[in-house]
Amino acid sequence: MDIPKLVHDLACRARAASERCAELTTAQKNAWLKGAAKRLESARESIFEANQQDLAEAREKKIEAPLLERLELTKDKWKDMLAGLADVAALDDPVGRIEESQLRPNGLEVARMRIPLGVIGIIYESRPNVTVDAAALCIKAGNAVILRGGSEALHSNLALALELRAAAQESDVPEDAICIVPTPERSAIDALLHESGNVDLIIPRGGPGLIQRVTESSRIPVIKHDAGICHIYVDENADTEMATRIVADSKLRQMSVCNGLETLLIHRAAAESSLSKILAKLHEEGVEIRGDAATRGIFADAQPASEADWATEYLGPILSVRVVEGIDEAIEHVRRYGSDHTEVIVTRNPERAQEWLRRVNSSTVGVNCSTAFADGYRLGLGAEIGISTSKLHAYGPMGLEGLTARKFVLRGDGQLRE
């Protein structure tokens, strides 16, 4: 198989489709979204069979548990995936939206208009739901999409893409607006990353190895997030009950996701009165606590934390814990070891909360809430295409607007530059 030619042909077809996508009306795009949901539901049995085939092959290859969890299409994930299509259909269409209009002294009206990016390449691992979420957002934003999922999810992704393309045939959306790379060969990734003449943006979603490979090899602009090393800082006057609930929700809700808590920082004064209670809940649920000397002095079941622990995204039942002297030390720790993903402070001091919001520049910064809110659905974006920790174009969870650009629009009445 000639992989470069295969990918080039896909990219050319997607480029041609993107020109038609840019001119679709909101009604046409929404009709495809609703039709896609119906097609998927009618093919649910065959899609779940394909997913079971992927899971069986993954277990034979002894793929790690977090990847298996992401790979499996459960009833809840299926329900959320279909609901995501309806949510995207209900979102305002950003394409053609006029923003920041102003009238210049010479009477020239200057504004910005949102436009599609063109063709977006999505390179991802494990999660079959990304196939549907990514296609939905890209099409609603007027783009074509090329999907290259992980080899471990090939059967699931092909089954899902088949229905998405079939829904396009039954609507005004061009079928090649949804293209999927049909081979597990890793060389297909390199071929896609060299299609700078046809692809406008690459969004990788996966582990550090994939992110690094894409970033270093791509000739196309990349929006990425490197890791989800999320922090919670419990301030000296935090409410213990609130802190306990927030930490538990952030860590226990779903450990394999990038918005899960990985490091807990706690003020020394709060640690003396609250740390044992906060950690007891996690320990009961099977979470291994790795702490500094002060943490181990308070919580006897804690294991020693190494320097590497502070910079590790566990995606599993391990939590790093450090006792700090105050907010300055907490922020210094976040800046040194964080990944610009999500950081939360738990405090009853409004001035301290505002200081945290101002000084911590991660893509999502919160006060008295779970890190789990760093999610497109929870932030009102609908399904997210990913979470960007690159401070260019888009930052944080990316919804529809993150998949558009803005052009200048000028309206005059014969004005000349004199």
Q: Give the model's pLDDT for residue 245.
A: 97
Distances 4 to 182, 195, 203, 206 between C-alpha atoms, Å: 13, 9, 20, 23
pLDDT band at 46 (very low <50, low <70, confident <90, very high): very high
58 beta partners: none
Instruction: Using pLDDT thresholds of 50, 70 and 90, give the confidence band for residue 398.
Output: confident
Q: What whole-number percentage of the chain has pLDDT above 70?
A: 100
pTM of the predicted protein model:
0.85
What are the start-end ranges of the H helices in 2-98? 3-21, 26-42, 44-60, 65-71, 75-90
Mean pLDDT of 364-384: 85
> Distance (Å, rounded) from C-alpha 106 to C-alpha 275?
64
Residue 316 has pLDDT above 80, yes or no: yes
- At residue 283, the 3 state secondary structure works out as helix
Report which of residues 418 and 98 the model is more confident about: 98
Domains of the chain: 3-223+393-410 (3.40.605.10), 230-373 (3.40.309.10)
CB 410 within 8 Å of CB 100? no
Please give the pLDDT value at position 394.
Answer: 82
Residue 406 predicted with pLDDT over 90: yes
Interior CA angle at 371 toward 368 and 376, to 5°?
Answer: 115
Which tokens go with 339? 């990944």
Q: Cβ neighbours of residue 255 under 8 Å, at least 6 residues apart?
A: 66, 314, 315, 316, 317
Q: What single-letter amino acid sits at 403?
A: L
406 vs 1, higher pLDDT: 406
pLDDT (0 to 100) of residue 383: 67
Q: Report which of residues 67 and 38 the model is more confident about.
A: 38
The helix-helix angle for 26-42 and 75-90 (nearest 10°) equals 160
